[in-house]
Structure 1
Amino acid sequence: MDLLMQYLIICPLVMLAGFIDAIAGGGGLISLPAYMIAGIPVHHAIATNKMSSTMGTALATFKFARKGFIPWKIALSCVVCAFAGSTLGANLALLVNAHIFMLFMIIVLPLTAVYVQKTKSLIVEKEPLSFKKTTILSMAMALLIGVYDGFYGPGTGTFLLLLLTGVAHLSIHKANGVTKAINLTTNVAALCVFLLNAKVLFPLGIIAGLFGMAGNWLGASYFANGSARNVKPIIMIVLGIFFLKVIYELFFK
């Protein structure tokens, strides 16, 4: 595939992924396959996708911070727990067969979709808990999803958003802010590893990253200015893409 065609495939899809990721997480379910469809070798695809994702997430995090959506005391505690969980999850991945885990996801994803359809916590805020209880529960959710992220990964932001609203009783705006702070930190850490191992394709990563930033900016603006009702259909799309991905990996790969 020629270079121009690669850019024509990757850049619009990365922009779409950024838009979705800023609102409901799960953008990597679109952006990473875009690199692979364009014929980028897998390790370079993962690394370059991490670069463009980091650029977009950084912009969305900045915009959310300016809007006051990030409660920093909670967010920083969650970042530490997410790192610890991710380390544990990566080690578990060496011990547990991923096939078993994906079979489990076939059950979890439809149940999650039912929860999203029925829950009101994405639209009507739950009664706030005390700061201490909110912080402890948020840290626990970050640790749990960190384990998932280290073990498997796709849809991490979406699951974290749902748990922070449903269990820790954070508002949808603050939950998304905390999620962005965690995603940005973990993205930067992973990107540093890829940079040290010379896996990032810089021209492609930078240009795709600019498209990702545009998508994240539009998505963050849409989220900040729109009703939380707009989040539900986008989360359902992310869960649907994720479900199809799991089915493909289990039965057709």
Structure 2
Amino acid sequence: MLLFLMLMTGFAGFVDSAAGGGGLISLPAYLFAGLPVHYTYGTNKFSAACGTTFATAQFFQKGAMNIRVGLLAAVGSFVGSALGSHIVLLLSDQVLRTMMLIILPVAAVLILWRRDLPDENRDDGTLNAKKAVLALAIGLGIGLYDGIFGPGTGTFAIIAFTTLMGFDLRTAGGNAKVLNLASNYASLVTYLSSGLVVFSIGIPCAISGIVGNLLGSHFALKKGAKFIRPMMLVVLVLLLGKIVSDAVL
């Protein structure tokens, strides 16, 4: 079962580093392995945070991000995710599963609606008060979603940075990495302090997740929109599949 989880988290890291949505693969895998919902959230956040760290470093090295916008979004994301993860601890497993059934269809519609994102950089490189507030708001909203639920966080961040702030897909992906990194660590602190990370599973899965993230970010940086757009459609298919499985089961 551990080998299965490592394969799934590796694939999740590959998808997540390019288009977001890795949690759509890893969360069901942990649940399938028999982990309770809260331990699934904590262990998944541990492995995801490790992988995202390496993917973010790759995007930073290639200059594929607007660091000022990314950092502002990260501040908002950290606050939102910390709040969201504390809310999760107050909810029962059944409530969380019910929330999944409600949120997933909405997420699927949003991704389908914006699946063909523009790939021209309309940002002028300046940072005024309006852009700063918008970056903080994007981070806060998506961070809150990530802390409470999670799947599709990176995808929604890419959509927000392209449609609301005018970044191309490559730069939006880099900004999304910084945002997602902050939200991952904010939630992880909460789960670690509550003893909800199973390290015997989380550490091997973190290693496979790092490998997947490095491979995925390499292809995303090299191929750009030609690689990112198809991966976003993969996320959509996975999201719709999870909706159907949750509804049936």
What TM-score do the two structures reach when normalised by structure 2? 0.84
In 2, Cα distance between the equivalents of 1:112 and 1:156? 11
Q: 189-198 or 162-171: which moved more?
A: 189-198
3-state SS in 1 of match to 2:114 = helix
Query: Equivalent residue for 1:124?
Result: 120
On the 8 A contact 1:134/1:170 being kept in 2, the answer is: no
Aligned-residue Cα RMSD (Å) equals 2.7
Instruction: Please give the per-residue CA displacement for 1:51-100, whole angstroms capped at 9, x wherever unaligned.
Output: 111111111111111112232222221122223444666788889x8858
Is 1:179 paired with 2:176? Answer: yes
Q: How does 1:1-253 map to 2 (within 5 A)?
A: 6-86=1-81, 102-103=101-102, 106=105, 109-117=108-116, 119=117, 121=118, 123-126=119-122, 128=124, 130-132=126-128, 133-249=130-246, 251-253=247-249
* Structure 1 segments (4+ residues) deviating >6 Å: 90-95
On the 8 A contact 1:134/1:169 being kept in 2, the answer is: no
TM-aligned CA distance change 1:64 to 1:100, over 3 Å: closer
3-state SS in 1 of match to 2:115 = helix
Counterpart of 1:43, as a letter, is H
Instruction: Please give the per-residue CA displacement for 1:147-183, whole angstroms capped at 9, x wherever unaligned.
Output: 4334433211101111101110122222112211121
CA drift at 1:128 = 3.5
In 1, Cα distance between the equivalents of 2:71 and 2:234? 29
3-state SS in 2 of match to 1:157 = helix
Gaps of 5+ in 1: 1-5
On the 8 A contact 2:114/2:159 being kept in 1, the answer is: no
TM-aligned CA distance change 1:57 to 1:108, over 3 Å: closer
* Bigger Rg over Cα: 1
On the 8 A contact 2:169/2:224 being kept in 1, the answer is: no
On the 8 A contact 2:78/2:186 being kept in 1, the answer is: no
Counterpart of 1:187, as a letter, is N
TM-aligned CA distance change 1:182 to 1:45, over 3 Å: same
Instruction: Please give the per-residue CA displacement for 1:167-203, whole angstroms capped at 9, x wherever unaligned.
Output: 1012222211221112112211222222222222223
On the 8 A contact 2:23/2:151 being kept in 1, the answer is: yes
In 1, Cα distance between the equivalents of 2:13 and 2:221? 15
Q: 172-181 or 162-171: which moved more?
A: 172-181
Counterpart of 1:164, as a letter, is F
In 1, Cα distance between the equivalents of 2:139 and 2:220? 22
CA drift at 1:14 = 0.7
In 2, Cα distance between the equivalents of 1:214 and 1:115? 29
CA drift at 1:25 = 0.5
On the 8 A contact 1:69/1:174 being kept in 2, the answer is: yes
Counterpart of 1:112, as a letter, is I
Instruction: Please give the per-residue CA displacement for 1:183-237, whole angstroms capped at 9, x wherever unaligned.
Output: 1122112222222222222232111111110000001111111131211111111
TM-aligned CA distance change 1:226 to 1:102, over 3 Å: same
Aligned length: 243
